[in-house]
Every structure is written in C-alpha cells, then in structure tokens.
Structure 1
C-alpha cells in the first residue's frame, strides 16, 4: 500500500554532473541480474511514522549521491548515475493490516509482505531504494523497518556503513559504535631458514594452484552443474524467485567457544554449521543426498581493510572503498557417509580447509580479470549472463556481515534485532549471516513452495547442537 505520510519533501542536488556506473553496478542491474538487499530492523517499540521523511531527508540522502540518482544511458550507450530531485513520498511504504490480530497472525502477514517485496523490481525512473514500515506487533518485534536497496548502489559493506551512519548507540549516543575484531591471526614464519631456495617452489606452487582453481571455477560457471537436490531444482531463467525469509539465532559467545576449541574462525565455524544443517535437511528427504555434488557460492569482500570506515572515508577519491568490491568462492558442501554424521566437526575442518585455500588463491583475481575481458569484448550484459550461469549451477549462496556490539537506536527507536537478505538470485536457497550485540542471526531465504524453511531451520539448530556438544565434550 502506498505511504499515507503527508509531508512532501524534495531533495535538490547542487551538482548535476553524471558519474559513470561501475562495471559491477551494471552487471547487478541488467536483464539477467536484478539484485537487491533487504535490511530488516526490528524495533522494540511501535514506530513513529512521522520520523521517516525527516530522517531520510536529513540523514540518509546526504550519505551518498547515488541515493539521489538514477541510471541513464548516455549518447554512447554508457550507463551513468544522474542526480535527480527526490520525492521522498514515492519511496516510503506503510502497509496496513487488519487490527486486533494475534502476533502469530501478524507473523504470517509480515512473511507474505517480505516475500512480495523480495520479487518486485525497483522502478528505474527514480532512485533505486525504498523504505517499508511495518507497524504491527509480530512475535519478534513491535514494528519493523525495512530498507530495500538495489545492489548496484553498493555491496553489503558499503550499504551497512550507510545504514550504521543513521543509527546511534542506545547506551550513549555520543560514543562511536564498536565491532567485533575482524583481524585474522597471523602466523609466525621463519623467513631465514631456507631463504631463496624455498621461494621458487612456492611461487610455482602458487601459480599452479591459481591456474587449477581458476580452471575449476570457470568450469563450474559454464558447464558443471550441481546435482538436483531438495535445495536445488532446475535451472532458473532470469527473474526473481519468491523467497520465504526466516531467521535462526545463536549466541555469539557459544559460536566463539566452538571457534576457540577448534582453532578456527567464526566464519569457518558458522559456515560448517550451515553446511551440516543443509546436509541434514537433504538427508531427511532421501539418504542418497548425503553424497550429492552441492556447492555454495560464498561472497568475499576483496577490500584490503576489513574494518568499517566512515562514509566520508569510503567515498574519498583516494580510498575508493564505496561500491561493489567482492568476489565469490566455490565451496563444496562436505559429504556425509551416513545420516547420523558421526563426526560433525569434520564439516568445520573441511570447510575451513577450502575457505583458506580459495581465499588465498590467485584464482580470485584471475576471475575478476576474466569478467573484465568478457565485458570489454562482449559487453556488460554478457558478464551478467555469465554470473547468472555461475549462480544457477550452484546450490546456494552465502554472505555475511559484522554488526555493532552495542544496541543501537534509529530515530529514537531501540533496535532489538537486525538481519538482511539478498534477492534476485536464480538460486532456491540464499543464506545470510549477521552479528548484532551478542547474537548471531542466520537469515534463510528459501524458495517458497520448494524448500520447507521450517524444517531447514530445525536442521540448522540440530547441527549447532551436534557441533557444540562435540566441541565441548572434553570439558
């Protein structure tokens, strides 16, 4: 339903000069791909709808010129960001549901609405973002604030930085937000023991490994498709898949305990947990799927920095941190010999080994160069088709974001929980992971009518229990 807010606001831009759309931005807003990010914030109190337009006008729009721009083609057919006047009423939606229902009934309304906006394309004749305010009490929150942002505006890192610029710490608004450490442990290497004699073999090994990894990635993108399983059906044509979005929450402290026990990272641990839960779900359908060929597309931030920067730093011409700066890894779901998964920790060990190999592989940069060559000789639409093919031949995609340690408020509304979902993928299963305060939230985007999301969530919870018990049984 169209917004009933009555404040009419337009944001005038001082500089009308067009800015070129990045190649990745063009891929993500094409005939073959049309990807968006849904950022869902759960409010502890009912939402004051009158705050929306002033907050958008005074805080959100000034963050980045792209929020006040549309994509156009210049005379040579090159896509540009063109600044326009923004009528904020055209971007805010406040659906109305029947009054006096139970929280469970409002859960159903909320789920249906989230599925609906996950498949609706954003209009291209105005800036490609929307704000949805759900002001009814579900079992999770008194109200929901949903930002729908086109992926062409930026990746999760950029858009999370923008979102965090709009919030303040609940305990002390004058203090900056803090985040869990993202710095990986460094290994001490003895550089003097063998000197140059070891450098040549290592270089040759790296070249061989990079070529091998890139070859495998290329084959996976073009001709080697995953098996048909309960999480992957026939290849999809371009277009959004209706997703039922649900979440599973775990204690971040418990995840860190598992990580410490196994000498892994939080990313290794949660990825192994998700893979085990997914295998359990597949096996519950039929045991033969315990050994199916299934891979996940894991999104990787390619920035040198892992810590969040201010919006000013991200948009600085020298740093150029804002935008879409990511690559993807083909991570195979470990196979299981039986439905009981006798050693659930193997899923973390095997996942960690793969992530470590591919994260440090030259294949990531070779893949980027391959996309650039395709773009140069065949155009952006050809690259978008290549990426669509890559996604459709895998079984699921995964991406994660780090959220603040402290509880935050948005326009005076305490936010009790937050998560996000990526839409527009040709896959039937999309998994997102986000930390906030001391909770790790797994978002499950499952194709409606094909994947039983309730059963899948139950399997992910079961996987956590198996891993936690196995990791802590020696205590």
Structure 2
C-alpha cells in the first residue's frame, strides 16, 4: 500500500462514472452527546493510515492518488438551536441528510466527510453522519472500518467481536457418506442445476438490458431519478423477532427479510390505489387492486468475496487478501412476488424459493467478469451505461449487511444504531437492512417525486413483520418460550 497511485476496481470505476455517481450515507445514532474534539483528534491520528481516506481521484477517474488530508475540511459541526427544533429532531436529521444529497463531494480532495448533529431524536441523543463516495468501498468494507474504530461497550478495552458466518448445509452435505454412486449423482445434479440457473439468469439479464422492464407502479422511478434529491426514513425492529420467524419456517434471515419486503411492497402498491367512497368521502382500500402478472424486480447487492461477513480491517488491507477492501460486489436481479395474500407466511415461502434458486446461480460473479471485460476493452463509460440500464429496468435496490453482534462505543460514545443508505442510483427506492446487536434497522431512501412518504413504507415493513409473527402463533408454529419472547418484544 506504499504506492503513490493505485488503480480503481471495475465496480469502483462504474460507481464514479458520469451518470452513476453513487454516494453512501451512514447515519450513526449515539446514546450520548458527541464531543467533536474527540472525532477530530482520532481522525488526525488515523486517517493517513487508510489509503482510501487519504487519497483523491485522478482526473481520469481510474486511479487513486495519495494526498495530504486536512481533517478540518472534512468534519462539519453545524450550530444548531435545539430549543427551536424541540421534539422534531427526527425530521431535522432527515432534512439535513436530504440536503446533503444535493451537494456533491469535492473531488479535489478525498471523497468523504463527517457531520456531527447534537440533536435528540426518538432513538438517539445525537447523530453522526458519514458521507463518502461509493467508489471508496462497499458495505462490508465500511463496516470493517467502523468496527476497527470502536470498542465493546461492555468492555471499553476490547475490540468488537467479529461475527462468524457459515454457509447453510446443502443436500450433498446430508448424504456425503451414503455411497460413491449417490454422492456422484447429487454432484452431477447440483452442477447441472447451477449451470442451468446461470444460463437462465444471464438470458433474463440480456433481455433486461434490451427490452424487459418492470411494470409501471407507484414505486417505479424514471430516467431522471438518479438526479433527484432523496428523502430518508428508518425503522428499528427486533432482530430476535426475525430469528423466531427464521427458526419456525426453517429458512435464513435473508429469506425472512425478503419475505417481509415483498409483503410490505405489496401492501404499499395496493394501498396506493385506494378508492374514495361516494358516501362520506372516506377512503376504502380495494380488496385487491394489484394488476395481474405484475413484474417488480430488485437489484440485490451480493458480496463476491470468498470469505463471508465482516472481516478484520487489517486482513482486508492485505494486498493479496481474499477479503480485499474495496467494491467486491455486484447485483443479482431478483423477481419480487407482489400480490395480496390472505396468509402472510406465503410471502416467506415464495421468498425462500426465489433465494434458493439465486443461491444456485453464478449470475453475480459472471456479470462482474463481463463488466470488467467491457471496462478494460471499451472503457468505464460503456460499462457504467450497461449497469445503469439494468437498474433503470428494475424497481428497487436492496442491500443487507451484517453488523456487530454486541453494542459498541466510539471513544466513550455508546452507539444506539447504525443505518446505511445510498443515493445517486436510478431507482426511486433503495432498501437497506442493517443488523446491530439485537436490532435490525430498516432504512428507506426514496425519490420523493415518485414516493412522497418513505415513512409509509417503513410502516408497511413493520406491519408485515408483525402479521407474520401473529400468523405463526395462530398456526401453533411457535412454542411457549418463543411466544413469550414475541410478547415481550411487542410490549417493548
């Protein structure tokens, strides 16, 4: 990492190309007021140690150039009249972040800044906002940096525990010892399925680039969406509730989150077409106003590293690391099951079926290789245009990042939540899901010209999760201990 210049990765070049200027915003809620001097002092001591935070983009957008960093230019502490804000701290923070989406980062210096808002909100005593260009790194990279800068709240001298993620066992794992012939048949079947699913996904991807577009709904953005400002909202729910559903339905947390998302978007789309009653002018939702054969898809971000989950920052900064820092991600175009279901558990079953198919496909790594080839031969502008065309044809973008498994603190400032988001993408809807300790943060970023009220979507996500818990109780799929946990969570 001693070179004065370093080339950008293929996805980093796409993220900073004309028309795909993506930036990330990480909102961190603190349980105490923030001391700006602590932030400044830490940055002065450590920012030069990180090559991305101490480099700027070259004029050609293809290289990182090492530079001197004046920390004061990157840290903003607005003078806030808390008395005037009163109990509207949440709205103040949302408006502040929204304004940031209209202000481009200064490309003459490293592409990041930090904003300290000592404003009380419903979930925190103060808020820190870290804005950076997406070309600096993906969600896993940023989370590893946050964990390297913090300590356990329960033990201020100890670094956070790095969560260990494991693959779910597949069919071949269960019959590995049943004989050579059967094992061989399973291996042939798994390989054939992998190749078949990959071919189908690539053909659908080609059709998406050429002509296949999502149905126009109340969530579908237009060609100008990436240039519009963004509005943000979030909701914090219990991670234990999600785990209860996961265990009861024998699926993964990602399956549950996708099922909740499908249910919430279905409710939102249907509710957007409410009709007004002729008697008294009251709003009466139609039983089902979702068009038949509706096509709604999401670009789901996938980590392409060989190692799962968050990795120690030192390991990610190793030059030949298998979990390299940067943008080692790509998207999978995921069809969403949109429609009103009388049984909310149907959304979960459909989500698991969809996810199982995508897990048995090389869609993401093959697309990454294709984009890398196009960029190397035709340039980043062409690669970015193709990537953007795929996103323009879909409705939403979804990302899920695993966070710390215990509460953490930054120099004596306990963290209440971590909420990431992105702006600059062409879809009108971005959904980020971020775990932290025993919480799951649902972050919604929208183009307000298309989706005027992101809080409504948060409401639908929360209501969908509750309806699934209730359905499990009614069907007797939760034992007494799980029901007790559910009741306690709902009371809290």
Q: Structure 1-normalised TM-score?
A: 0.90
2:146 is the alignment partner of 1:163: yes
Per the alignment, residue 322 of structure 1 pairs with 325
Per the alignment, residue 206 of structure 2 pairs with 218
Superposition deviation, residue 398 in structure 1: 0.6
Over residues 308-350 of structure 1, what are the superposed CA-to-partner deviations in whole Å (9 max), with x where a residue is unaligned? Answer: 22211111122151111112111111132x4xx2121111111
CA–CA separation in structure 2 for the residues paired with 1:290 and 1:466: 23
Per the alignment, residue 175 of structure 1 pairs with 158
CA–CA separation in structure 2 for the residues paired with 1:408 and 1:290: 46
Q: Residues 420 and 206 (structure 1 numbering): CA distance in 2 closer, same or farther, change over 3 Å?
A: closer
Structure 2 runs not aligned, ≥5 long: 274-287, 479-492
Give the secondary-structure state (helix, strand or coil) at the position aligned to 1:39.
strand
Per the alignment, residue 305 of structure 2 pairs with 303
Mapped contact 1:329–1:359 kept (Cα < 8 A): no
The residue correspondences of 1:208-287 to structure 2 (distance < 5 A) are 208-236=196-224, 239-286=226-273, 287=288
Over residues 265-323 of structure 1, what are the superposed CA-to-partner deviations in whole Å (9 max), with x where a residue is unaligned? Answer: 01110111011111101000124336421111111111111142221111112215111
2:50 is the alignment partner of 1:67: no
Give the secondary-structure state (helix, strand or coil) at the position aligned to 1:132.
strand
Superposition deviation, residue 136 in structure 1: 2.0
Per the alignment, residue 4 of structure 1 pairs with none
2:385 is the alignment partner of 1:385: yes
Structure 1 runs not aligned, ≥5 long: 1-13
2:7 is the alignment partner of 1:20: yes
CA–CA separation in structure 2 for the residues paired with 1:366 and 1:148: 30
- Equivalent of 1:190 in 175, 195, 198: 175
The residue correspondences of 1:414-453 to structure 2 (distance < 5 A) are 414-451=414-451, 452-453=453-454
Per the alignment, residue 46 of structure 1 pairs with 33
Superposition deviation, residue 18 in structure 1: 1.0
Per the alignment, residue 207 of structure 1 pairs with 195
CA–CA separation in structure 1 for the residues paired with 2:61 and 2:299: 30
CA–CA separation in structure 2 for the residues paired with 1:200 and 1:317: 36
Mapped contact 1:283–1:289 kept (Cα < 8 A): yes
Per the alignment, residue 81 of structure 1 pairs with 64
CA–CA separation in structure 2 for the residues paired with 1:184 and 1:224: 33
Mapped contact 1:261–1:472 kept (Cα < 8 A): no
Q: Residues 47 and 293 (structure 1 numbering): CA distance in 2 closer, same or farther, change over 3 Å?
A: same
Q: Residues 160 and 472 (structure 1 numbering): CA distance in 2 closer, same or farther, change over 3 Å?
A: same
Mapped contact 2:12–2:134 kept (Cα < 8 A): yes
CA–CA separation in structure 2 for the residues paired with 1:366 and 1:270: 25
CA–CA separation in structure 2 for the residues paired with 1:440 and 1:197: 41
CA–CA separation in structure 2 for the residues paired with 1:161 and 1:223: 39
CA–CA separation in structure 1 for the residues paired with 2:55 and 2:238: 40
Per the alignment, residue 469 of structure 1 pairs with 470
- Equivalent of 1:32 in 11, 16, 19: 19
Superposition deviation, residue 400 in structure 1: 1.1
Per the alignment, residue 312 of structure 1 pairs with 314
Q: Residues 376 and 448 (structure 1 numbering): CA distance in 2 closer, same or farther, change over 3 Å?
A: same
Mapped contact 2:14–2:384 kept (Cα < 8 A): yes
CA–CA separation in structure 1 for the residues paired with 2:190 and 2:145: 41
Superposition CA RMSD, Å? 2.0
2:141 is the alignment partner of 1:139: no
Q: Structure 2-normalised TM-score?
A: 0.87
Superposition deviation, residue 466 in structure 1: 1.3
Q: Residues 352 and 97 (structure 1 numbering): CA distance in 2 closer, same or farther, change over 3 Å?
A: same
CA–CA separation in structure 1 for the residues paired with 2:190 and 2:74: 54
Per the alignment, residue 131 of structure 2 pairs with 148
CA–CA separation in structure 2 for the residues paired with 1:198 and 1:245: 47
Per the alignment, residue 351 of structure 1 pairs with 351
Per the alignment, residue 277 of structure 2 pairs with none
CA–CA separation in structure 2 for the residues paired with 1:87 and 1:229: 46
Mapped contact 1:251–1:438 kept (Cα < 8 A): yes
CA–CA separation in structure 1 for the residues paired with 2:11 and 2:185: 41
Give the secondary-structure state (helix, strand or coil) at the position aligned to 1:194.
helix
- Equivalent of 1:127 in 93, 96, 110: 110
Q: Residues 375 and 15 (structure 1 numbering): CA distance in 2 closer, same or farther, change over 3 Å?
A: closer
CA–CA separation in structure 2 for the residues paired with 1:171 and 1:194: 50
Superposition deviation, residue 197 in structure 1: 5.3
Q: Residues 306 and 129 (structure 1 numbering): CA distance in 2 closer, same or farther, change over 3 Å?
A: same
